[in-house]
């Protein structure tokens, strides 16, 4: 992982942790307030916002650490060259989906800029919808880094272990 990748990942881990903690605090506060018969409806809304951001940041953390769920029985059954090409195609598909997420998420955030967040006048709904393009952009950086590493490593023949 590059030095910039390490810095991004550390920042993501810290910010994601803060969002998860804030989400827990909001839900707990809302529950206690409701128990005291003084409900604070905004706690659930803020918890949802924090959840959206934590989800996309955590997805990039998992992608960067190779911790996403994967079904490897098909690639593992292929030869070294075929597996290398399949992985190459998969990375390109992932890049295209993430690029669309940045594009569509940016449009959504722009359209949502005048919408208020759950009726709160000073907060735009774009703060919630911006989690999608930001998260996808971070995952694009991770995928590009993985792609560079992938293309630097030649496909290997399983029998001889030599590059093909």
Per-residue pLDDT at 89 exceeds 60: yes
Q: State the pLDDT at residue 106.
A: 97
Element (DSSP H or E) covering residue 24: helix 3-35
Per-residue pLDDT at 59 exceeds 70: yes
Tell me the whole-structure pTM to 2 decimals. Answer: 0.86
pLDDT, tens digit, 9 for 90 and up, residues 97-154:
999 999 999 999 999 888 877 767 777 888 889 999 999 999 999 999 999 999 998 7
Residue with more model confidence, 80 or 64: 64
DSSP string, 102-131: HHHHHHHHHHGGGSEETTEEEEETHHHHTH
Q: What is the rounded end-to-end Cα distance, in angstroms, of the chain?
A: 25
Q: State the pLDDT at residue 160.
A: 54
Cβ-proximal residues to 42 (8 Å cutoff; 6+ apart), any chain: 118, 120
Q: Is the dihedral of CA 62, 67, 72, 75 positive or negative?
A: positive
Q: State the pLDDT at residue 50.
A: 94
């Amino acid at each position: 992982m590059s030095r910039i990748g390490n810095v991004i990942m550390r920042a993501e881990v810290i910010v994601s942790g803060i969002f998860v903690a804030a989400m827990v605090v909001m839900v707990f506060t809302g529950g206690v307030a409701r128990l005291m018969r003084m409900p604070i409806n905004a706690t659930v809304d803020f918890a949802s916002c924090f959840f959206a951001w934590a989800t996309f940041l955590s997805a990039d953390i998992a992608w960067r650490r190779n911790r996403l769920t994967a079904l490897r029985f098909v690639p593992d059954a292929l030869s070294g060259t075929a597996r290398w090409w399949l992985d190459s195609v998969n990375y390109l598909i992932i890049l295209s989906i993430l690029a669309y997420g940045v594009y569509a998420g940016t449009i959504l955030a722009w359209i949502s800029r005048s919408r208020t967040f759950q009726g709160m006048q000073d907060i735009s709904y774009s703060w919630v919808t911006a989690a999608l393009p930001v998260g996808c952009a971070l995952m694009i950086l991770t995928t590009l880094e993985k792609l560079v590493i992938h293309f630097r490593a030649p496909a290997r023949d399983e029998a001889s272990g030599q590059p093909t």
